[in-house]
Amino acid sequence: MNYGLTEDQQAVLSELERLIAGTAPDGHTEPEFAPYCEALDQELAQSGFLDIAREDGFGPLDAALVVECLARAPQIVEAAASALVGPALGLPVGLRPVALVEHDPLKPARFLPRAGVLLADLGDRVLQVTVDPDRVVPVDSLFAYPYGRLETLDGLETKDVADVATLRRRWRTALAAEAAGCMAGALALVVEHVKDRRAFGRPLGAFQAIQHRLAMAAETVESCKWLAFRAAWSDSEADAALAAAFAQKRIPQFAFDLHQFSGAMGLTLEFSLHLWTYRLRALSGELGGAAAQARQAALATWPEAAA
């Protein structure tokens, strides 16, 4: 794996950053609990960024770069599953947003209220459900995503897909890349905050207690990011599980620290930190959380010893 971006990748990311900037909410809109950015979603659907893994000369690594970059933005859109999972399972171009759920297709899934398709990991196979938005019941959630669930599959178009391993592998990579981006977005906000806000006659960022933990947070962001990119590049089961496990394990401390240094302000909706930390929390619980991912990484790396 080459650790520098190619010219093509740089071009893709700067164009993507332009799209993101163009749909950024202006500072004067009412603070919102769990906004979904329709404008960015539509731009993404039209521009083809989420199909990058399907294009000649590009692949899952490029998709992971796109996912990480999008997650740094405060705008919330479904991108990770569309960019990394959909293409690998052969979903037709444009069939999105993609909702993912484990075990039971009737469980609440994030993005389902807006999804075009639901992919349910049923253990031995994947059930692909074409979603009729009218059939989705919104579910209350505290995690800044639109959650929803289906009450029944009756009357919905479903299809079995055999390749459950691919779904899980790409799901793990997708969540690791999205988590890395959310962490980077959140950290950038808080670093600015502690430079600006003053206490005891100096900027908060001058206190070493704060510097040290933000330095640890920066290390978490970097390591999560490169593990996620590595998983996308190798597209291997072991790397994907490792990247997801690592990100999920780091999330709780990371989120607490960033809120801690933002003080009471960071708990209000007027300060946008929650837009990333809600997402991080939701991601940290996916696919059974860090311990399940770590076990999977061990199993993929040392299958005999684990058996």
Partner 1 sequence: MNDSIDRFRATARAWLEANVPAETAPRDGPEARAFTLRWQAKQAEGGWAGIAWPEDVGGRGLSVLEQIVWFEEYVRAGAPSVLSPSFVGLNHAGPTLIACGSPEQKARHLPEILRGEVLWCQGFSEPGSGSDLGSLRCRATVDGDELVVEGQKTWSSWADIGDWQELLVRSDPEARTSKALSWVIMPMDAPGITVRPIETMAGPATFSEVFYDDVRVSLDNVVGGLNNGWATAMSTLGFERGTAALALLIECVHQVDTLLADCSPRLPMLRARLAGLRAEGRSVLAMNYRFALESENAVPDASGSMIRLAFAEFAQKVSAAAVELYGIDAAQTLGERGWGYEYLHAFSETIAGGTAEIQRNIIGERVLGLPRPPR
Closer to ligand FAD by Cβ: residue 11 or 199: 199
Nearest CA to 64 out of 76, 80, 48, 77 is that of 80
165's contact among partner 1, ligand FAD, none, with CB below 5 to 8 A by partner kind, is none
Binding residues for ligand FAD, rule CB under 6 A, total 13
Closer to partner 1 by Cβ: residue 16 or 280: 280
Which is it for strands 202-203 and 198-199: parallel, antiparallel or unpaired? antiparallel
- The residues, ordered by sequence, that sit 6+ positions from 271 with a Cβ below 8 Å of its Cβ are 193, 262, 265
Q: State yes or no: residue 233 binds ligand FAD (CB under 6 A).
A: no
Residues in the chain: 307
Residue 89 beta carbon to ligand FAD: minimum distance, rounded to whole angstroms: 44
User: What's the per-residue H, E or C state across 109-132?
Assistant: EECHHHCCEEEEECCCCEEEEECC
Closer to partner 1 by Cβ: residue 207 or 226: 207
- Using the rule CB under 6 A, give the single segment among 46-54, 139-147, 172-180, 260-268 that binds ligand FAD: 260-268
Three-state DSSP class for 239?
helix
Binding interface with partner 1 (CB under 8 A): 31, 33, 107-108, 139-143, 147, 198-201, 207, 209-210, 252, 256, 259-260, 263-264, 266-270, 274, 277-278, 281-282, 285, 289, 291
Q: What residue type is 142 in one-letter code?
A: L
One residue of 209, 270, 305, 307 binding ligand FAD per CB under 6 A: 209
188's contact among ligand FAD, partner 1, none, with CB below 5 to 8 A by partner kind, is none
Q: State yes or no: residue 295 binds ligand FAD (CB under 6 A).
A: no
First to last CA, the chain: 31
259's contact among ligand FAD, partner 1, none, with CB below 5 to 8 A by partner kind, is partner 1
Which is it for strands 158-161 and 147-150: parallel, antiparallel or unpaired? unpaired
Closer to partner 1 by Cβ: residue 25 or 289: 289
Question: Do the beta carbons of residue 179 and residue 134 sit within 8 Å?
Answer: no
Question: Do the beta carbons of residue 53 and residue 62 sit within 8 Å?
Answer: yes
Q: DSSP letter for 197, please.
A: -
Provide the binding-site residues for ligand FAD, judged by CB under 6 A.
Answer: 197, 199-200, 204, 207, 209-210, 260-261, 263-265, 267
